[in-house]
Amino acid sequence: MTARLAYGLGALVDLTGATGPVKGARLAAGHGVSVGFLESILADLRRGGIVASKRGGDGGYWLARPAEEITVADVIRTLDGAGQLGGATNGTGGDLAPVWDAIAEATVAAAESLTLASVARSRARAPNMKRDSTNVLS
């Protein structure tokens, strides 16, 4: 998992619980990353149709569609490219190619089945999860 994907997914899960626009600076501070880095990620997510944004004093970021409709696979494809999801061997795995291909298929299936809503619910149920670094809205 790349840093872009980890921080992007974390920010999206934070937005899942938001009741209005959330400033990029607030999201960045909650994850301990620079505003510029996180806003670069959010810009890619905006271009990918996952978040929407508005500038100004009452602006910020919010999910462009319901959290139940955004999959982890959507986020991976947007932030890390379609080639990163699955990563089949394309004939380079030798005798173990079928094993690696099966793992890649399972990874794709798992990413397609997980929505931002389900990830947010899982995080809310995790009693030992550090809220200060993973959820700026609590």
Q: What is the mean pLDDT of each run of 10 residues along the chain (138 residues)?
A: 92 94 95 95 97 94 97 93 63 78 88 95 73 44
* DSSP helix/strand/coil, 51: strand
Q: Where are the alpha helices (DSSP H) in the chain?
A: 3-16, 24-31, 35-47, 72-80, 97-113, 116-125, 131-134
Q: Check residue 90 and give its pLDDT.
A: 61
| Domain that includes residue 108, residue range | 3-134
CATH code of 38's domain: 1.10.10.10
| pLDDT of amino acid 131 | 47
Contact between 68 and 117 under an 8 Å Cβ cutoff? The reply is yes
pLDDT of residue 10: 94
pLDDT at 138: 39
The residues, ordered by sequence, that sit 6+ positions from 33 with a Cβ below 8 Å of its Cβ are 7
Which residue type occupies 50? I
CA 3 – CA 15 distance, rounded (Å): 18
Q: How many domains does the chain have?
A: 1
Q: 66 — phi, psi (to 5°)?
A: -60, 145
Q: What's the confidence (pLDDT) of residue 110?
A: 93
pLDDT, residue 98, reads 85
Residue 33 confidence (pLDDT): 95
